[in-house]
Structure 1
Amino acid sequence: MNSSKPYLLRAVYEWLTDNQLTPYIMVDVLFPGVEVPERFVEDGKIILNIEDHAVKHLSLGNDIVEFDARFSGISHHIHIPVPAIKAVYAFENGRGMVFSDEGQDEGSGPSTGGGKPPSPTKPKRGKPHLTVVK
Structure 2
Amino acid sequence: MALDKVQRRKPLSNQEEKELRRKKLIEGRKPNYFISLHVAQKAGDKAGYTKNKAFDNQYYRDLILKVLSQHSTMSRKDIDQLLWNKLPEWMTDEQRKSKVNNLITELKNHNKIVNKGSFKYSMWELVS
Give yes or no for TM over 0.5. no
- TM-score, normalised to structure 1, is 0.23
- TM-score, normalised to structure 2, is 0.23
Highest Rg: 1 or 2? Answer: 1
More helix by share: 2
Q: Which has the higher contact order (CA 8 A, sep 6+)?
A: 1
More strand by share: 1
